[in-house]
Amino acid sequence: MPHIEISPPLLDSGEEGVVRPTQVIVDLEALAHNFQEIRRWVHPAGVMAVLKANAYGHGLVPVARLLAHLGADYLGVAVLEEGILLRRAGIRTPILVLGGVLGSRIPLFLKYDLTLTASSMETLRQISEAAGALGRRARVHLKIDTGMERIGVHAENAERFLEEAVRCRHIHLEGIYSHFANADLPDPALTRWQWDRFQEVLGFFERHSLPMPLRHIANSAALVRFPETHLDLVRPGILLYGVYPSEAVPRRLSVRPAITWKTRVVYLKVVPQGRGVSYGWTWRAPRATRVATLPVGYGDGYFRALSNRAQVLLRGRRHPQVGTICMDQMMVQVEQEVPVAVGDEVVLIGCQGPACIPVEEVARWAGTIPYEVLTSINTRVPRVYRGPETLLRVLQDRQR
Amino acid at 54: N
Cα–Cα nearest to 100, from 63, 153, 64: 153
DSSP string, 289-304: EEEEEES--GGGT--G
Whether the CB-CB separation of 258 and 19 falls below 8 Å is answered with: no
Angle at CA 364, nearest 5°, toward 276 and 226? 170
* Residues 301, 40: Cα–Cα separation, whole Å: 34
* Residues 295, 331: Cα–Cα separation, whole Å: 9
Close Cβ partners of 266 (under 8 Å, ≥ 6 residues apart): 21, 293, 294, 295, 342
Evaluated on CA atoms 365, 367, 372, 377, the torsion sign reads: negative
Cα–Cα nearest to 224, from 215, 233, 236, 232: 236
Residue 121, number of CB atoms within 10 A of its CB: 14
Longest dimension (CA), the chain: 80
Catalytic, 279? Answer yes
Cα–Cα nearest to 114, from 132, 136, 129, 133: 136
DSSP code of residue 190: H
Close Cβ partners of 239 (under 8 Å, ≥ 6 residues apart): 34, 38, 220, 223, 224, 245, 253, 255
Amino acid at 385: Y
Residues β-bridged to residue 312? 319
* Residues 41, 38: Cα–Cα separation, whole Å: 5
Q: Considering the candidates 52, 74, 177, 241, report the single residue annotated as catalytic.
A: 52
Angle at CA 144, nearest 5°, toward 111 and 63? 50
* Residues 217, 83: Cα–Cα separation, whole Å: 21
Q: Per DSSP, which regions of 161-200 are E strands?
A: 171-177
> Burial code of 176-191, b = ≥16 C-beta within 10 A, e = fewer?
bbbbbbbbbbeeeeeb
Q: Considering the candidates 267, 279, 371, 385, report the single residue annotated as catalytic.
A: 279
Active-site residue numbers?
Answer: 52, 279
